[in-house]
Structure 1
Amino acid sequence: MPVVVAIDNGSQSTKVLVVDETGRVRAQARVGLRPYATPAPGRSVHPDDDVWDSIVRACRRAMERFDGDPAEIVGIGLCTIRFCRALLRADGTLAEPLLSWMDERVARPHVAAPDVAHVTTSSGYIAHRLTGAFRDAAGNYQGVWPIDQGSWRWSSDPDATAATGMDPSLLSELVDPGAELGRVSAEASSATGLPAGVPVFATSNDKAVEALGAGLASSEDVLLSFGTYIAAMTVADAPGGGDAHWVNFGSRPGQYLAESTGIRRGMWTVSWLRDLLHPVAPDDDIYAFDRSLGIEAEGVAPGCDGVAAVLDWLAPGDEPNRRGAFVGFSGAQGRGHLYRAVLEAIAFTMADHIDDMERERGVTARGVIVTGGGAQSALLVQIVADVLGRPVRRALVDDAAGIGAAICAAVGAGVFPDWDAAVAALSGTGAPVLPGPAAETYRALRPWHRGIRSRVAELSDWMVAARG
């Protein structure tokens, strides 16, 4: 039976799945990434060669756990986090550590340096490490790149080159989702345990690949991605955007996704709070503590007895003064209130962003699909259903981006005749969670939370001005 390997490199970890044509996960592994390094104000990089190192270790573990014949592996799907920038020497090695999506330089034109011969994304860098080719996924180019949104290829406009500081000689060849990036080299095989000569296939950016793996297929649904960056997406017809949404490349050739404003460090804030309340020792079961916090939060009434969280632990780029906050304490609240307040803040904030996007586009989704780590919280899923007043379905496989990468590899390798067949075989969602008795309460609380967010933003500006 043919199987594919899916590499899903995210903000906090790399996950690798080995998936067969029925959608069964035959083996998997997860390796955490080290904390971002901040060598100077505004800079945020992956330390040393951490992304490649995590991929190497995750691949080796997954291959060690795979009980089948490596000859069954017909393709590898490569998905990495978007909005990163890799500055490479002529031989493809890093000229400096990989720039994360939080580094201010990724939003600026490239500045030429003598030892930088290639400028690419995280997927372009990893594709070269795996195959030796300078070829990359067209769908992973968003932000400051000279790319034509309509053709998915480099722009021929000299102004685009000038605006981005990227001469065409610096850039990799672009390919569509499901197209071959190259084949695993002997050197990469030795490092990762992946079979040499197996084709590596392009996906897209991580959010788009996640949407593919979750089965998002039309504007009838909106996908809430509960990751380090929380965003809402739905299928769009063409490039464009507005004040309340922008349009991203999808993970099928020619597909686009409308995406709302999001929450930076979204689910990271949940982990931050958990670790703050319960410092992690080497032998601790952090998931057990997550469950105990969830149980405590379930016993708290909607509105958390007046406590609200504002989730600006990492300020938006266009409003650098914004800060996160907890407000409304009376001395009667405990850690369950804090935990639930963060979950409610996620739901309230994203509900407003979804409403703004849908008003701007003139299209309202009937259902909601949730993915990512937060989708494992039954409480968060119920709160989202109550706040949005819509049925919510959870992706069947926890790593939707991994399944999306597997779909791209399976299509590229010819395991399925087309994208629809691959999606039908490999992805799916569970039974809908319907709005419950708390929905009316949450409907009344939405303006309250919106007002708190607005006033905390004003306070953040005042704090900066008052300090001088």
Structure 2
Amino acid sequence: MIDPYILAVDVGTQSVRAIVFNREGDQIASARKISEPYYSLQPGWAEIPAEQFWDDSCQVIREVVEKLGAGIAQVKAMTITANRDNIIPLDENDQPLRDWLTWIDTRRTPEIIPILRRTLKGADKLIYTVKRSFFEMVAPRSKFNWIRIHEPEVYAKAKIYVTLTGFLTHRLCGVFRDSLAMQVGYMPYEAKRQDWYKIPAVYKILGVRRDQLVDIFPPGSKLGEITEEASKKTLLPAGLPLIAAAGDKMCETLGSGVFSPKQATVSYGTMATIGTTITRYVEDSKLKFYTFASCIPDAWNPEYNIYRGYWLITWFCNQYSKEQGMPEFLNEMNELAADVPPGSNGLFVFPFWTVQPGLYPHGKGMVAGWIDRHTVADLYRAFLESIAYALREGLEIMEKKCKTRTEKLYVVGGGSKSDVAMQLTADIFNLPATRLSNTEVCAAGAAINAGIWAGIYKDYEDGVASMMREHKTFYPIPQNVEIYERIYHDIYKKIYLKNKDLFKKLGEFGHFKSE
């Protein structure tokens, strides 16, 4: 019997990867393209050229097709996962009107609030008034509203807005369809119903019309087939089915095998997150955490995130690696940090280089406790510890709201490769932390959706059991746990309230030039 394959394309922040898996999760062929970094015209902005994701995706797909040779006939379906909360408007000819507004972008449109107060009438105004605090938190964060106010010509010409996967689906299949589990950010998407809102006021508040949004389908649904035109650009066979997956973090949660709130996935990526799976919808109205559609039917993934997660580690390396290459420097830091005691010799980092809007709206990054004997290894470990403290707080918030208790962690992303990061994660959470054998957990999670559609797996549990294997589990060390408990409760949990006014004041002196 011919071994069936699945092609998964994973569009990340720092790279685009195409990976062909067999049923057991072995990588038959793969290709990776390092992405050009975003550009920033003003502080807080983050944009990417309109065609970059498509061009990079075509390149890596062509590479794996060439590596497969005749084996391309064994690929039964393909799927795409991507980082979330990126949008681009397209014109009447389905061409981009501007560059991508990315998930990293933090621009705001506070001037929309007086406009909404003035223009909303009747039932729309009543709905707005009843949930005014919520709508006045989300409306200025809407990317649609920013375009409406600051780029009115683009706004007037916008026929449709698409996410990364929606854009690539259209380029590959010629249809405007997307996964419902990619609708993340300040969009008129009702997570509980896993569909677009039916309330007209929500669209007016967020600055977009329903007809400007694509049709959405559950993960595991067929979105379309590769067109002849896309076949010429990618070398994929025309007619190959494209199957809906989900956003990157939801695919990681599935790929980790997290089917209940007893487990959680810690993702140490550019954005650091912790997420779990529930079958009863729970949300936080203050957006301390978000609840997204899961790959699994009739389930959701509560998720807490730090925008600048392991981006902080990249930032740290950029500051201190000097002439040394970053991979070599990072390996050196992990070796040295293993000899630094828990608590980083009294050095503490508060990791909110970007605010957490629901929890620390005025948060700033902070390094405290410096003395002349501290080394760069102390600082590196303090950064690792800080991200784990923040994610532990997020897990506790979700557990309290969902009335659940997590018993085990699966750790994925770049940070999972570090034994130091794995051990301190187990110690800070006081939970077992498991590293998986398959490092491409996101792509594998996406592939499972396509594998179910293709009949390769009978269900999600079968897909995870076939593709994923545990590599090593790190267990909490009691004496380390005791130290981290003191730091977490006596320092981390108190530092924002004690310094909130200071953070606000410091914000008055930030005058950075654009990148």
Q: How does the TM-score come out when normalised to structure 2?
A: 0.85
CA contact (8 A) 1:16 1:62 kept: yes
**2:320 match:** 277
Per-residue CA distance 1:242-285 (angstroms, 9 max, x = gap): 2543311111232211123x21111011011112211467xx4x
The 1:41/1:339 distance shift into structure 2, 3 A limit, reads: closer
CA contact (8 A) 1:179 1:412 kept: yes
**2:308 match:** 265
Aligned residues: 464
CA distance in 1, matches of 2:483, 2:387: 16
CA distance in 2, matches of 1:174, 1:28: 28
**2:165 match:** 123
Corresponding residue SS for 2:473: coil
Deviating more after overlay: 307-316 vs 20-29: 307-316
**1:73 match:** 75
Corresponding residue SS for 2:392: helix
CA contact (8 A) 2:101 2:143 kept: no
Corresponding residue SS for 2:302: strand
The CA deviation at 1:31 is 1.5
The 1:143/1:250 distance shift into structure 2, 3 A limit, reads: same
**1:17 match:** 19
CA distance in 1, matches of 2:189, 2:486: 44
The 1:36/1:352 distance shift into structure 2, 3 A limit, reads: same
- 1:362 aligned onto 2:403: yes
CA distance in 2, matches of 1:287, 1:467: 31
Corresponding residue SS for 1:66: helix
CA distance in 1, matches of 2:430, 2:407: 10
Per-residue CA distance 1:132-173 (angstroms, 9 max, x = gap): 111111111123322333442333322233233322221211
Corresponding residue SS for 1:64: helix
Alignment partner of 1:328 out of 366, 369, 374: 369
The CA deviation at 1:324 is 1.4
The CA deviation at 1:61 is 2.7
**2:295 match:** 251
The CA deviation at 1:219 is 1.1
Deviating more after overlay: 331-340 vs 422-431: 422-431
**1:303 match:** 343
CA distance in 2, matches of 1:101, 1:280: 31
**1:189 match:** 231
Corresponding residue SS for 1:273: helix
User: What 5-or-longer segments of structure 2 have no aligned partner?
Assistant: 109-140
Per-residue CA distance 1:32-90 (angstroms, 9 max, x = gap): 22221222454321134222222122222333333661111111111111111121123
CA contact (8 A) 2:191 2:291 kept: no
**AA at the equivalent of 1:205:** G
CA contact (8 A) 1:215 1:429 kept: no
CA distance in 2, matches of 1:274, 1:183: 43
CA distance in 2, matches of 1:364, 1:351: 12
**AA at the equivalent of 1:22:** E
Percent of aligned positions that are identical = 26
CA distance in 1, matches of 2:94, 2:404: 44
**AA at the equivalent of 1:461:** K
CA distance in 1, matches of 2:279, 2:459: 20
CA distance in 2, matches of 1:280, 1:26: 36
Corresponding residue SS for 2:389: helix
**2:116 match:** none
The CA deviation at 1:456 is 4.6
Alignment partner of 1:237 out of 279, 285, 307: 279
CA distance in 2, matches of 1:271, 1:65: 31
Per-residue CA distance 1:330-381 (angstroms, 9 max, x = gap): 1111111111010011112211221222122221111111111111111101
**AA at the equivalent of 1:93:** Q
**1:371 match:** 412
Deviating more after overlay: 455-464 vs 339-348: 455-464
CA distance in 1, matches of 2:5, 2:316: 39
- 1:93 aligned onto 2:95: yes
**AA at the equivalent of 2:19:** L
- 1:107 aligned onto 2:142: yes
CA distance in 1, matches of 2:9, 2:188: 27
**1:47 match:** 49
The 1:165/1:2 distance shift into structure 2, 3 A limit, reads: same
**1:407 match:** 448
CA distance in 1, matches of 2:77, 2:510: 56
Corresponding residue SS for 1:266: coil
The CA deviation at 1:407 is 0.5
The 1:307/1:25 distance shift into structure 2, 3 A limit, reads: same
Q: How does the TM-score come out when normalised to structure 1?
A: 0.93
**1:164 match:** 206
The 1:454/1:51 distance shift into structure 2, 3 A limit, reads: farther
CA contact (8 A) 2:7 2:78 kept: yes
Structure 1 stretches of 4+ moved >6 Å = none
The 1:339/1:33 distance shift into structure 2, 3 A limit, reads: same
The 1:289/1:153 distance shift into structure 2, 3 A limit, reads: same
- 1:427 aligned onto 2:468: yes
Alignment partner of 1:451 out of 474, 491, 494: 494
CA distance in 1, matches of 2:457, 2:399: 34
CA contact (8 A) 1:92 1:128 kept: no
CA contact (8 A) 1:215 1:428 kept: no
Deviating more after overlay: 336-345 vs 41-50: 41-50
CA distance in 2, matches of 1:157, 1:463: 41
Aligned-pair RMSD on alpha carbons? 2.2
**2:34 match:** 32
Per-residue CA distance 1:75-115 (angstroms, 9 max, x = gap): 11111111111211233221111110133366354437233
The 1:183/1:455 distance shift into structure 2, 3 A limit, reads: same
CA distance in 2, matches of 1:3, 1:443: 46
CA distance in 2, matches of 1:81, 1:182: 21
**2:327 match:** 287
CA contact (8 A) 1:245 1:259 kept: yes
The 1:279/1:58 distance shift into structure 2, 3 A limit, reads: farther
